[in-house]
Amino acid sequence: MTRRGVLLLAAVIAGAAAAVAPAARADDKAFKIIVNPDNRTIAVDRDFLRDAFLKKVNEWDNGTALRPIGLSTRFAARDQFTQEVLRKSPAQLKAYWNQQIFSGKGTPPPEAEHKPSPPKPEGGATQSPPA
């Protein structure tokens, strides 16, 4: 599998500068979303991020495959992301994926067991660390 166009949703780091939509309110918690360095996406809105993680969309605007990766449930940032971006409780998210699996519609994104390194300050997308 190629890493081109991978959206690493696992890189949800609470309290960091927003890489999410400028439309988000200033009092919202911010999350950094790490994408493959070949992907020139600079910002995404929360609705797109939600749909990407829930696998309701499977491509970027340019047609490149989108492959979300979830942060392991052992990280508090995962629950924050689930509640604030996905607008679900952890139990609701688990039920959602159970329903998707049971109906044959999909499976949850794989989970990363570590937090990626912080993005480089020069801006743009940052590559995830090797697994």
Q: Is 127 helix (H, G, I), strand (E, B) or coil?
A: coil
Tell me if 120 is assigned to some domain: no
Q: Is 59 helix (H, G, I), strand (E, B) or coil?
A: strand
**Residue position matching structure tokens 């970027």:** 60
Q: What tens digit of pLDDT does each residue of 54-101 get?
A: 999 999 988 889 999 988 888 888 999 999 999 999 999 999 999 999
- The structure's pTM equals 0.67
User: 8, 130 in Cβ contact below 8 A?
Assistant: no
Tell me if 103 is assigned to some domain: yes
User: 43, 20 in Cβ contact below 8 A?
Assistant: yes
Tell me if 116 is assigned to some domain: no
Q: Is 106 helix (H, G, I), strand (E, B) or coil?
A: coil
Note down the domain range covering 106.
Answer: 7-110
